[in-house]
Amino acid sequence: MIAPLTATMSRRGAVLLALLSAALLAAPWVVNDYLLTVLIIILYFAYAGQAWNIMMGFAGQLSLGHAIYLGLGGYVAATLFTRFGIGPWLGLLAAIPVATACGAIIGFLAFRFRVAGVYFVILTIAFAEFARIGFDNWSFVSASSGLFLPVRQYAHNDLWRLRGDPAMFYYVIFGATAAIFALCHVLLKSRIGYFWLAIREDEVAARAAGIDTFRYKMIAVMVSAAVTSFAGVFYAFFYNNLFPEQVFSIARSVEIILGPIIGGIGTLFGPILGAFVLTGLAEALNAAMAACSLDLPGAKQVFYGICLLIVIVALPDGVWPPLARLLGVSRSKT
């Protein structure tokens, strides 16, 4: 995976990526626990944003219901862990097919019956809402009272069961973010990636070029759902609790797409950059308000709104494309 990754990347881009990776790898030795937790949240959003980006940024299918894959992943792994003592990595092997099957159902209904545009978006929201209401009333998973993972002080990190200190969680989500970055890069440079971009750009023209658009849209939804489910597993084991009201809520779907929108939809660095910008600035805002002993509930949401407005007005393609030109790592000419 490394060879095709470096072959198609500009030299400067590869150097920047190496520097960023080195800095992130060294972070747990340098920063305190609070900052490390912020970095975990940033990487979690970078990962989830990248996963959503496969469907929207590459294949042009807007999902506002990605919380369903997040929630299914979390619930499958957490239930297996609390009820049967099955660890999260084996749980992931169950979570991925469940989320993928759910994506396949939504995709099939939409693409088979030509539910497109706004109606497709509504369908994705509707499924997440079904799941929220369903899980809220399903006693096997403790319904609305929520699912809790046992929390204890651990003598040492147990990577197999994902129990341990923040540094362990940090490296897990860092590895996952690196892996999905590499996966997206390879996908984008492959035959399937070209077909996705063609569908995103003009579906009628894509069909005229012989592309079976149903098939490739299905693959996009299923791949996106599958990788998103890992974010759910991580979420469950990091926060140690799951409530249907929270994990399946539309707010969850929206917050994972803000990063890619701010950073640049359809780009590889956009979701990562967007996660850093949004979470980084929001935490800085929190810290600044705490320092001035200000207490304004909802300030973060207002801040997100302002960030989104600025980006939509000033940088409609997101922060990454102009930044890439500035850094000299962009190849495209307009």
Partner 1 sequence: MSVLLSLDGVSKRFRGLVAVDQVSFAVPQGAIFAVIGPNGAGKTTLFNMIAGAMPPDAGTIVFAGEPVQGLSADAVCRRGIARTFQIVRPFPALSVEDNVIVGALLHRRDVAAARALAHQLLTQLDLFDKRERIASTLTLPDRKRLEVARALATGPRLLLLDEVMAGLRPTETDRMVAILRALNRGGLTILLIEHVMRAVMALASRVLVLDHGVAIAEGAPEQVVRDPAVVQSYLGAEEV
Complex with partner 1: residue 151 or 208, whichever CB lies closer: 208
- Which range, of 42-50, 178-186, 226-234, 325-333, touches partner 1 by CB under 8 A? 325-333
**Residue spans of alpha helices (H) in 113-202:** 118-136, 166-188, 191-201
Indicate whether 114 belongs to the interface with partner 1 (CB under 8 A).
no
Segment near partner 1 (CB under 8 A); pick from 18-26, 100-108, 167-175, 191-199 = 191-199
**Least separation, in Å, of the C-beta of 206 and partner 1?**
7
Q: Which of 6, 144, 145, 190 binds partner 1 (CB under 8 A)?
A: 190
Q: Is 6 in the site for partner 1 (CB under 8 A)?
A: no
The string of DSSP codes covering 296-330 is: -TTHHHHHHHHHHHHHHHH-TT-SHHHHHHHHT--
**What DSSP assignment string belongs to 64-133?**
S-THHHHHHHHHHHHHHHHHH---HHHHHHHHHHHHHHHHHHHHHHHHHTT--THHHHHHHHHHHHHHHH
Tell me if residue 146 falls in helix, strand or coil. coil
For partner 1, the closer of residues 185 and 252 by Cβ is 185
Per the structure block, which two tokens stand in for 143? 């319904």
Evaluated on CA atoms 106, 108, 113, 116, the torsion sign reads: positive
- Of 52, 69, 120, 195, the one binding partner 1 by CB under 8 A: 195
Residue window 196-225: x/- pattern of binding to partner 1, with contact defined by CB under 8 A: -xx--xx-xxxxxxxxxx------------
- d(C-alpha 263, C-alpha 52), whole Å: 13
The least distance separating partner 1 from the CB of residue 207, rounded to whole angstroms, comes to 4
Residue 31: helix, strand or coil by DSSP?
coil
Distance CA 142, CA 287 (A): 36
334 sits near partner 1 (criterion: CB under 8 A): yes
- Nearest one of 332, 309, 116, 329 to 213, comparing CA atoms: 116
Q: Which is nearer to partner 1, 69 or 111 (CB)?
A: 111
269 binds partner 1, rule: CB under 8 A: no
Nearest to 262 by CA among 53, 83, 54, 94: 53
Could you tell me which stretch among 103-111, 169-177, 194-202, 302-310 binds partner 1 (CB under 8 A)? 194-202
Q: Which residue number, 189 or 300, has a Cβ lying nearer to partner 1?
A: 189
The reply to whether 316 sits near partner 1 by the rule CB under 8 A is no
Sort residue 164 into left (φ over 0), alpha (ψ -120 to 50) or beta.
left
Does 82 engage in binding with partner 1 (CB under 8 A)? no
Binding flag, residue 331, partner 1 (CB under 8 A): yes
CB 325 to partner 1: min, Å: 13
The contact pattern for partner 1, residues 131-170, with x = CB under 8 A and - = no contact, is ----------------------------------------
Q: How far is CA 179 from CA 161, 206, 312, in A?
A: 20, 29, 29
**Of the candidates 62, 229, 218, 236, the residue with the CA atom closest to the CA atom of residue 150:** 236
Size of the residue set binding partner 1 (CB under 8 A): 23
Q: Shortest CA distance to 32 belongs to which of 295, 287, 241? A: 287
Note whether 263 and 320 are within 8 A (CB). Answer: yes
- Beta carbon of residue 205, minimum distance to partner 1 (angstroms, whole number): 4
3 binds partner 1 (CB under 8 A): no
CB 252 within 8 A of CB 243: no
Closest approach of partner 1 to the CB of residue 198, in Å:
5
Q: Using CB under 8 A as the criterion, which residues of the chain lie in contact with partner 1 when the complex forms?
A: 189-191, 194-195, 197-198, 201-202, 204-213, 331-334
